[in-house]
């Protein structure tokens, strides 16, 4: 047995996994092992090297407060990513907990299938339509961002079937995007590392060029010219594939997975003109941009998007309970409605979608956003935040910075002049993340960029603290790589 397997065998024999079936209650015997050990014996972690994890073990997060989380050693970390772009309101809301408690007492669960409904789903859908960035007609509630995108693909296909054009099936998205982990949502995702060993993406999911101006612009090309080149390339792709076979274009207004990358100037204006020309549906994935993150309620408002369909999740409920939504305009709903009549029903649904407790929580979170005027708050913090990013540009490891609202990205380079990146073996991202942790900061590196998305309740002082701790982490990392 190799070392990890041995460790697991040891833990398995030590952990009292058998259940007591003697009495009316079934419970685990108390374990003398720590959570650290029990995690390695029992938990599979998403987006994790599972073999390495058996050697390094987990970081056990015990609780949070404001923008900080604590581990089981009592160490405190400023979470500059709001735990996967989720914790807009930070941690521990008694107000929302009370709403969940009351909702659970009133209607633990009921489905929305076959015409059943309940107040929380109606109230939340109505509120989403009121605050939508463009006129929207109906809302389909789901449980996660992946489910929302997956279901939206089905809606797009259903729409084209309804119009008698089932050959309109191909979906175009962009390199650098992330749209979720279901088989279809990951097929939309423009990152081959998510496809390897799964035999994905499915056929008919096409990924056009990355939007990274710093990395991909030609010498002397302005941002507007770069955007025009991307729009021209999109049009060439549509013509190559055959416009009559293209169903929809998918875009996240700011690309989280590309390292919190805002679009280049003029990009969406030029791209939308192409979509209009070929009558292609536009789906905006607002899973990370929705609800104030970009300094407007929606990324679509910040960048002038006119989507037919919007998907959203995460900050919708400040991630206090899982819930997501698809908003569709009347053009789409009208066809979907008639097609469902033709087929006898809209045969799609997830048991937990529109869960009354989750919907009640989301509604309360939206009320809190209203009271805080969340988008205006983010807009007012944007200059302080961008100033912190700008302050890092003199660092030898920093090539460029960009950001919007409370989203920021920092390009990591080995050489500022040539813009060369470090070899993969150096694991520069892993080093920066680890050194940030040593400096009390949780940060994320994606696509060779530090990607910030702090809780929206963050204060100016805490934003400055992110800048200070990042610099310390970069200094420590530079010393390390110079010593290699």
Ligand X SMILES: Cc1ncc(COP(=O)(O)O)c(C=O)c1O
Contact residues for ligand X, defined by CB under 6 A: 84, 144-146, 149, 178-180, 252, 256, 285, 287-288, 313
Q: Which residue is nearest to ligand X (CB)?
A: 145
CB of 368 to ligand X, least distance (A): 20
CB of 97 to ligand X, least distance (A): 21
CB of 284 to ligand X, least distance (A): 10
Cβ distance to ligand X smaller for residue 133 or 162: 133
How far is the C-alpha of 385 from the C-alpha of 118, rounded, in Å? 41
Give the residue among 77, 87, 177 at the shortest CA–CA distance from 454.
Answer: 87
CB of 191 to ligand X, least distance (A): 11
Give the residue among 436, 435, 433 at the shortest CA–CA distance from 445.
Answer: 433
Strand-pairing partners, residue 283, are 250, 309
Cβ distance to ligand X smaller for residue 227 or 255: 255
CB of 286 to ligand X, least distance (A): 8
Cβ distance to ligand X smaller for residue 185 or 281: 185
Q: Are the CB atoms for 223 and 400 separated by under 8 Å?
A: no
3-state secondary structure 428-445: HHHHHHHHHHHCCEECEE
CB of 174 to ligand X, least distance (A): 11
Q: Are the CB atoms for 439 and 473 separated by under 8 Å?
A: yes
How far CA 124 is from CA of 139, 358, 362, in Å, comes to: 9, 10, 7
CB of 148 to ligand X, least distance (A): 7
CB of 189 to ligand X, least distance (A): 8
Cβ distance to ligand X smaller for residue 287 or 309: 287
Cβ distance to ligand X smaller for residue 186 or 398: 186
Cβ distance to ligand X smaller for residue 402 or 435: 402
Strand-pairing partners, residue 173, are 207
Number of CB atoms found within 10 A of residue 103's CB: 23
Backbone dihedral region of 92: left (phi > 0), alpha (psi from -120 to 50 degrees) or beta?
left
Contacts (Cβ under 8 Å, ≥6 apart) of 215: 411, 419
Cβ distance to ligand X smaller for residue 158 or 194: 194
CB of 407 to ligand X, least distance (A): 11
Cβ distance to ligand X smaller for residue 184 or 397: 184
CB of 346 to ligand X, least distance (A): 22
Cβ distance to ligand X smaller for residue 121 or 451: 451
Cβ distance to ligand X smaller for residue 274 or 313: 313
């Amino acid at each position: 047995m190799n070392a990890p397997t041995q460790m697991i065998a040891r833990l398995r024999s030590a952990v009292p996994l058998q259940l007591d079936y003697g009495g009316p209650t079934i419970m685990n015997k108390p374990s003398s092992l720590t959570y650290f050990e029990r995690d390695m014996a029992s938990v599979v972690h998403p987006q994790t090297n599972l073999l390495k994890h058996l050697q390094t073990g987990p970081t056990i997060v015990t609780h949070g407060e404001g923008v900080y989380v604590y581990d089981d050693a009592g160490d405190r970390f400023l979470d500059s990513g709001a735990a996967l772009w989720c914790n807009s309101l930070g941690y521990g809301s008694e107000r929302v907990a009370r709403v969940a408690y009351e909702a659970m007492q009133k209607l633990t669960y009921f489905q929305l299938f076959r015409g059943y409904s309940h107040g929380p789903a109606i109230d939340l859908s109505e509120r989403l339509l009121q605050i939508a960035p463009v006129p929207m007609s109906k809302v389909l509630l789901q449980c996660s961002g992946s489910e929302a995108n997956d279901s939206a693909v089905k809606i797009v296909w259903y729409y084209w079937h309804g119009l008698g054009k089932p050959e309109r099936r191909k979906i175009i998205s962009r390199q650098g995007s992330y749209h979720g982990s279901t088989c279809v949502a990951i097929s939309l995702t423009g990152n081959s590392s998510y496809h390897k060993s799964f035999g994905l993406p499915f056929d008919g999911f096409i990924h056009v060029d990355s939007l990274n101006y710093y990395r991909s612009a030609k010498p002397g090309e302005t941002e507007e010219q770069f955007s025009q080149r991307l729009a021209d390339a999109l049009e060439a792709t549509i013509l190559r594939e055959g416009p009559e076979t293209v169903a929809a274009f998918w875009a996240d207004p700011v690309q989280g997975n590309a390292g919190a990358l805002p679009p280049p100037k003029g990009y969406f204006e030029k791209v939308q003109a192409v979509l209009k020309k070929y009558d292609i549906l536009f789906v905006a994935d607002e899973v990370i941009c929705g609800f104030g993150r970009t300094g407007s309620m929606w990324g679509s408002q910040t960048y002038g998007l006119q989507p037919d369909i919007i998907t959203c999740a995460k900050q919708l409920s400040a991630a206090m309970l899982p819930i997501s939504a698809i908003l569709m305009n009347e053009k789409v709903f009208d066809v979907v409605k008639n097609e469902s009549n033709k087929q006898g029903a809209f045969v799609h649904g997830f048991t937990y979608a529109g869960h009354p407790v989750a919907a009640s929580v989301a509604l309360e979170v939206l009320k809190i956003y209203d009271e805080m005027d969340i988008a205006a708050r983010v807009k007012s913090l944007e200059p302080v935040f961008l100033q912190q990013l700008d302050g890092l540009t003199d660092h030898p490891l920093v090539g460029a910075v960009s950001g919007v609202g409370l989203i920021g990205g920092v390009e990591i380079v080995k050489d500022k002049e040539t813009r060369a990146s470090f070899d993969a073996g150096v694991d520069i991202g892993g080093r920066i993340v680890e050194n940030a942790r040593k400096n009390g900061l949780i940060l994320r590196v994606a696509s060779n960029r530090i990607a910030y998305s702090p809780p929206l309740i963050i204060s100016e002082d805490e934003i400055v603290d992110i800048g200070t701790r990042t610099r310390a982490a970069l200094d420590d990392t530079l010393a390390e790589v110079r010593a290699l």
